[in-house]
Amino acid sequence: MIAPVPSSRAGWWIAALVALALLAPLGDAQAQTRYIAFGDSITFGTGDDDGCDPCGYAHRLQAQLIAAGRNALVVNRGVGGERTPEGLTRIDSVLAEGGDVLLLMEGANDISRFISRNTTVFNLGEMARKAENAGFEVIQASLIPRIPTADTDSKNISNQRTCESIRNQAGVTGRKMADLFEVFGSQINPYANIYWDDPVDRVGHPNAEGYDLMAQIYFDAIVGNDNVPPVTGLLRPFNGETNVSRNTDVVVEVWDFGAGLDLANTSLLVNGQVVAATAMGNSRQAEFRYRPPTPFGAVVKIGLRSRDQAVPANSTDHQIARFVTAGTVFLTGDIDRSGRVDGADLVVFGFAFGATTFATAYDPLADFNSDGIVDGVDLAALATNFGATAQ
């Protein structure tokens, strides 16, 4: 039925207001936010349940957003094996599809192909810049930790530095951060519980539970749920650095992408002891600097103890870096290169004991005399230095 035309100007305005009121819910229902999940095989969904269609975190994130009352479409634009130079070329065509928010995570394959960290971070910055110039909001993400059997960077030295640089890039540009590296790494036994169990995986991909977690991390970043503690940005010396001056300053940049850093409850630790560090900055980003009153020893471990201003607070207390000073000579028996021959070395030695060259259990670091067998002679060498510390 067509409504009659009002006989007065006042009546026309009343009719117009009524019509707008009736159309408003329809307009809201049609307003949709289009998210583009951009990245490599970890975005594509490799390692998800067999036969999954779709795979990966994107459709899981879409379901969470819709359940939260948001009209969202999350499009998966992950490509397996892609490196950031290729992603930088591909992103133009993806952005041309149109959308509102770019979820950007790439760089794992750069590490495997020995592309420099500076190149990776530059390429990510260019991708984000292109997206923002096209009218997108950009949410940057750190990389997930690499598995202990990864073909390169199994100890996550390069990966950690890359993620710290990504955090710094997101922080400086004011972008939101989905910190996969921090959240995945803080899970209980993550490699057994949230990673794909496949012997041919030489990088590390999530399993179905891992993709559930990825979706949750992105969801929290989008809606503003603060479940991540303060995290490190750029470090000097960096984790894993060697030949460091024994008189070097330690500089630790700390970021918080949520409620803000609680500066009064943030401390640096050196070899397990809280030290007096100079702090400069604010609740979003602060720099902590420590100058040793006496020269450092052989191996230095730096820890961060901090919490944020969320209610309840998110806290962290763990080692963030380990570096080796110039002139350090590791003692025979110090298999893990911790600077001390102790029970941890004995455990590693025990797994290798009796193994010969080419055996699966053989560890050349436990074969102290390099005769091709880990035996009693090597055990005696370890026992001689047990409890001793490198100088």
From the list 341, 356, 346, 355, the residue with the least C-alpha distance to 379 is 346
Q: Do 145 and 108 contact (CB within 8 A), yes or no? A: no
From the list 368, 360, 376, the residue with the least C-alpha distance to 334 is 368
**Model confidence pLDDT, tens digit, residues 113-150:** 999 999 999 999 999 999 999 999 999 999 999 999 99
Q: How far apart are the first and last CA of the chain?
A: 92
Q: What is the pLDDT of residue 29?
A: 58
State which H helix or E strand residue 270 sits in.
Answer: strand 267-270
d(CA 304, CA 275): 11
What are the Cα distances from residue 203, in Å, to 109, 188, 196, 216, 336?
Answer: 8, 20, 10, 22, 22
Q: Do 235 and 78 contact (CB within 8 A), yes or no? A: no
From the list 349, 249, 245, 238, the residue with the least C-alpha distance to 293 is 249
Q: Do 267 and 344 contact (CB within 8 A), yes or no? A: no
- In the three-class reduction of DSSP (H, G, I as helix; E, B as strand; rest coil), residue 225 is classed as coil
What are the Cα distances from residue 67, in Å, to 63, 70, 71, 100?
Answer: 6, 7, 9, 19
Q: Do 382 and 329 contact (CB within 8 A), yes or no? A: no
Structure token pair of residue 382:
């370890």
Q: Do 353 and 375 contact (CB within 8 A), yes or no? A: yes
Residue 202: count other Cβ atoms within 10 Å of its Cβ.
Answer: 14
Q: Do 306 and 261 contact (CB within 8 A), yes or no? A: yes
Quickly list H helices, 236-375: 343-352
How many CA atoms are closer than 13 Å to the CA of 268, on its beta-carbon side? 25
**Model confidence pLDDT, tens digit, residues 26-52:** 345 559 999 999 999 999 999 999 999
Q: What is the pLDDT of residue 200?
A: 93
pLDDT (tens digit, 0 to 9) for every residue of the chain, 391 residues total?
333 333 333 332 233 333 333 334 434 555 999 999 999 999 999 999 999 999 999 999 999 999 999 999 999 999 999 999 999 999 999 999 999 999 999 999 999 999 999 999 999 999 999 999 999 999 999 999 999 999 999 999 999 999 999 999 999 999 999 999 999 999 999 999 999 999 999 999 999 999 999 999 999 999 999 999 999 999 999 999 999 999 999 999 999 999 999 999 999 999 999 999 999 999 999 999 999 999 999 999 999 999 999 999 999 999 999 999 999 999 999 998 889 999 999 999 999 999 998 888 999 999 999 999 999 999 999 999 999 999 8
Query: Angle between the 157-173 and 117-133 helix axes, to the nearest 10 degrees?
Result: 30
Cis peptide bond upstream of 312, omega within 30: yes
Beta bridge partners of 306: 316
Q: Report the phi/psi class of residue 87: left, alpha or beta, with left for phi > 0 and alpha for psi in -120 to 50.
A: alpha
Q: What is the pLDDT of residue 78?
A: 98
Q: Which strands, in side-by-side order, build the sheet including 33-39?
A: 72-78, 33-39, 101-105, 137-141, 176-178
Q: What is the pLDDT of residue 342?
A: 93
- Alpha carbon dihedral 151, 157, 162, 168, in 10-degree steps, equals 160
Query: Angle between the 58-67 and 208-223 helix axes, to the nearest 10 degrees?
Result: 50
Q: Do 271 and 245 contact (CB within 8 A), yes or no? A: no
- Which residue in the block uniquely carries the two structure tokens 């607070």? 313
Domains of the chain: 28-223 (3.40.50.1110), 231-324 (2.60.40.1220), 343-385 (no CATH)
